[in-house]
Amino acid sequence: MKKIAVLVSLIIMVSAYTACAKPDYKKTATDFLSATSKIKDYSVREVADTESPDWKAVIVYAKQGMANMPIVLFVSTDGKSVVPNSMVFVGNKPIFNRKLEPELGKLDFKLTEKDRIVYNPSGKKTVVMFTDPDCPYCKSAMEKIRGYTGEYKIVQKYFPLEQIHPGATKKAIAEQAEWLKKNKLASGANALAEATKMVEQDIQEAQKAGVNGVPTYVMEDGSIKQGLF
């Protein structure tokens, strides 16, 4: 999966702060970012425990375009030291292993779902999945989705990355055309023509949504996610 790069310019350093009986870790993180970083649009979300009693993990999401990208600041439990945008190890083991996914924004328009390929049609919630037929990460996700019986109905749309996977658009059109014929929604040359229009529409919608990689998922509320399957 091609992820959006976090363009964060932080000086790796340890900074001392005034100790207090009960340190305010969020304030410590905010003060540190204000003093050392050019990041202005961010939110300090959470203070999490780590595997070390000497460190807390302060989770920050920084705005980058439509997306919010995760950053972890490690603050010593006495509130005196901060290690930003890095990992703290104790005994050669990382003290914080939680995977933090980027928040890729929220759509302000409705995606077209008519006559698209659907998996698990009985799912109670709808998720739209943008894919590329030649993307290895998409193929891995599809292996899970083909036998999936959970809460989501998955609607497949296409965002072929031609610069990386030449010919992926033709494969997407062929897959969509086969679905139309199999479900008696179109036939023959008409199925190919309709599928071409649909894939072109998918690409336009993906670009409008700011999709930068695949697989990308759009939830019912318009929020954009990666790594759902």
Distance, CA of 104 to CA of 87 (rounded, Å): 24
What is the three-class DSSP state of 134? coil
**What is the per-residue pLDDT across 109-157, written as a single tens digit (0 to 9) for each?**
999 999 999 999 999 999 999 999 999 999 999 999 999 999 999 999 9
The alpha-helical segments, DSSP class H, found in the chain are 25-36, 136-145, 168-182, 188-209
Q: How confident is the model at residue 1 (pLDDT cuts 50, 70, 90)?
A: very low
Distance, CA of 130 to CA of 208 (rounded, Å): 13
**What is the per-residue pLDDT across 176-216, written as a single tens digit (0 to 9) for each?**
999 999 999 999 999 999 999 999 999 999 999 988 899 99
CA 72, distance to chain mean position in Å, is: 17
CA 175, distance to chain mean position in Å, is: 25
Asked whether the beta carbons of 111 and 128 are under 8 A apart, the reply is yes
Beta strands in 77-194 (DSSP E): 82-84, 89-90, 93-94, 117-119, 125-131, 152-158
Q: CA dihedral defined by 211, 217, 223, 225, rounded to 10 degrees?
A: -80
Q: Which domains does the chain have, with CATH numbers?
A: 25-94 (3.10.450.520), 117-225 (3.40.30.10)
* Residue 16 CB coordination number (10 Å): 10
pTM for this prediction: 0.62
